[in-house]
A and B are shown apart, each in its own frame.
Chain A
Amino acid sequence: MKRLLMSLAMGMFLSSGGHAAGFEARAATPAPALKARDLSGAPKTLADYRGKVVLLNFWASWCPPCLREMPSMERLRVKMAGRPLEIVALASAESAEDTKPFLSKMKLGFPILLDPDGSNTKRWKVFALPTTFVLDARGRVRHVLTGPTEWDEGEALKIIEAMLAEQAVAPK
């Protein structure tokens, strides 16, 4: 029974995106289009965040690892207040109604976008949740992480800081 329980636990962990394989650096790949609406129904695209480093997180309200990393994204937002970083969480293939129970319990200061038909999820080729893309100020994908992390510490924080530093010295 021990073997079964261990394999079950491991399987759940892996299949639910419970593992983080580590950040994968990308060679400034042009980002796919982002066409979504926020919770108020306002349309949003990457152009709305141009000039900032963007942390674009694909999540779902039914995904425990996604929910576990959300508080660290909120702490990161607070830590980075006033700096050119935008955290955006896109609910993959979910409606506003689906996200409501979670968002009513956890107050988040960063924008939540909706992708009810999953079209953004498909355009960005997201196969596991959470998946997070770190974009530079020119809207290019620079890092990808499949699985959760603590965003306000360790490697994640180093990457964000490095991207912000790069942005600070980049020619305007």
Chain B
Amino acid sequence: MRFFKLLLLSLWAVALGARAELPDYQVFPAKGTQLLLWVASERGRAEPEMQAARKLAARGVEVWSLDPLGAFFLPQLSRGMDAVPQQDLADWLRAALASGKRVTVYAVARAAVPVLRAAALLDQAQRKRLGVVLMYPNLYTVAEPLATPDYLDVGALTGLRVRVLQPRRSAATPWLPGLVAHLKSRGARVDYAILENLREGYWARETPTEFEVAEGQRMDGLLLRELKILGRK
């Protein structure tokens, strides 16, 4: 698996050269039946996200955490996500499905792009076994004032179960119906939840509200709820 070789190489390079304290790929093992593939946003990982991954593992959900931009040495910008090798990510999804656990991918912001493109590369039977939670996904190709928004074609998503989590306090909230319609048009089975009183990236804001801090500490609970909802879809 070229992807894993690359991950190991990047881990080694980061550890030796970049002085980053967080490697680009981390596993939080657990003996339960669920596996969460956590794909970090273009912002990288924040400590509350790592804490949530640890708490999930303690509650029996295994977490494989990937920072795709770090892993593939891509610029830490939204557009960097568009360059993540899809086939490598699809191999990663297949490896997760082969674990025999119930697999859910959680992707934040623009990380939705490589995750959905990779899901589109799976065969339909594999895709039906996968659940995807997208936190304020950004799928725009064009989002300019006075221009009709346009979304990336991420490929066929037939049978893919998708939950979109959208913080209410976001410029993207009024546009959520269009995004959901786009995903449905690609064949995904989509629904969404609005996260009231929260902003995008609420777990790592520069000036968070008390509520945002509290919700950042309860992210494991949010994700457990989402796993249950996806399990029922």
Contacts and interface: CB of A to CB of B under 8 A. Distances in A.
A57 interface: no
B174 A121 contact: yes
B59 interface: no
A144 B18 CA distance: 40
A10 B77 CA distance: 9
A128 interface: yes
Contacts of B173: 93, 118
Interface in B29-48: 41-46
B146 A11 contact: no
B171 A11 contact: no
Interface in B105-157: 109, 140, 143-149
Given A8-B46, A127-B143, A3 B148 contact: no
A141 B144 CA distance: 14
A10 B199 CA distance: 16
Interface in A7-52: 7-12, 14-17, 26, 29, 32
Contact of A125 (B76, B78, B147, B206): B147
B204 A8 contact: yes
B145 A124 contact: yes
Given A15-B201, A127-B175, A128-B171, A4 B44 contact: yes
A122 B149 CA distance: 10
A149 interface: no
Q: Per DSSP, are chain A's interface residues mostly helix, strand or loop, or mixed?
A: mixed
Contacts of B143: 127-128
Contacts of B76: 7, 10-11
Contacts of A16: 199-200
Contacts, number: 94
Interface residues of A, number: 37
Nearest to B207: A64
B46 A4 contact: yes
A116 B195 CA distance: 17
A129 B172 CA distance: 10
A151 interface: no
A160 interface: no
Given A12-B205, A133-B145, A141-B146, A7 B44 contact: yes
Contact of A127 (B41, B46, B109, B144): B144
Given A127-B144, A127-B149, 11 more contacts: A4-B22, A10-B43, A10-B76, A11-B44, A15-B200, A63-B169, A122-B175, A125-B146, A127-B143, A127-B171, A146-B145
10 smallest beta-carbon distances between A and B, as pairs: A11-B43, A118-B174, A127-B143, A62-B169, A7-B76, A1-B21, A129-B171, A7-B44, A144-B145, A121-B174
Interface of A: 1-4, 7-12, 14-17, 26, 29, 32, 60, 62-64, 92-93, 118, 121-122, 124-129, 131, 133, 141, 144, 146
Interface of B: 18-22, 41-46, 76-78, 109, 140, 143-149, 169, 171-175, 199-201, 204-207
